[in-house]
Amino acid sequence: MGLAFLASSHTRAADPRTVTFFVASDSHFGARGMSDMNRSLVQQMNELPGTPYPPEIGGNVDTPRGVLFTGDTTDNGTLEEFAEFEQVYGLTGKDGLLRYPVFEAIGNHDYVNEAPIKERMTQRHGGINYAWDWEDLRLVCLDMYPDAKTLEWLRRDMQRIGRNRPLIPFFHYSIEGYYSDSWEREEKDALAKALSDYNVVAIFHGHEHQVGHYRWAGHPVFRPGAPRHSSHSFLVVRVTARELAVVPWDFDNRRWRASWVVPIRR
């Protein structure tokens, strides 16, 4: 895969507003082999800062602010499985194998037993829907997907931050493609309408276990691979004053798989 969006000249010098973060998904603790696969993924996340980006991106990977994790932390939705997620990924960057803070969404496999993991994630982040800032970048976790209740929460948050702040939503379910029928078209249309007048830099989701990108309702959408199945990659994301670069890292072969760049309106 090559450049899929806008190729441009890239900022080489350090910019105080530059934000780097990683995106991973679908650890499926409890399934066979996932303990070792996730430990390998986390080890490479820890080692990646300082690695040169592909030439078309330029520069080296900075230490990330954190990791967005787009759901399905467990395979069977048990607290025992989630305890292993916490042991490997931690929360703050100081309490697990991962050296960076992690911000996870809930996935359908996490919700098999409904309450336990939802309650545990609420203890960790204050809710299943939550938001925070990295510089002027606003990041919002939107549950498994933005249903009517979550969308109302999102509208209130966006009204507080205003229409010009760069915004990155993330959640678990796909919006388009083979695995996108887990939520209704009307719900997707409502999300598109809610986001239409805001400065959405990108949307991230998991669920498919396959790295990729597409455009939806005018917004760039990205998904990482997963430790489970064959698309063993996570995303490295760099946001500068002018653009967002997304580069998948293949943690089987220790190499970049592609690169995508989109402009940012500020």
Domain of 248?
A: 19-49+60-263
Tens digits of residue pLDDT in 19-38: 999 999 999 999 999 999 99
262 pLDDT more than 80: yes
Give the torsion through C-alpha atoms of 247, 250, 254, 256, to 10 deg: -30
**Is 40 within a domain?**
yes
**Is 8 within a domain?**
no
Q: How confident is the model at residue 15 (pLDDT cuts 50, 70, 90)?
A: low
**Is 4 within a domain?**
no
**Is 196 within a domain?**
yes
Q: How confident is the model at residue 10 (pLDDT cuts 50, 70, 90)?
A: very low
Q: What is the CATH number of the domain that holds 199?
A: 3.60.21.10
Number of Cβ within a 10 Å radius of residue 114: 10
Q: What is the mean pLDDT of residues 118-125?
A: 96
**Is 134 within a domain?**
yes
Total tally of structural domains belonging to the chain: 1
**Is 113 within a domain?**
yes
**Is 3 within a domain?**
no
Nearest to 251 by CA among 59, 18, 45: 45
**Is 97 within a domain?**
yes
Note the pTM of the prediction, 2 decimals.
0.92
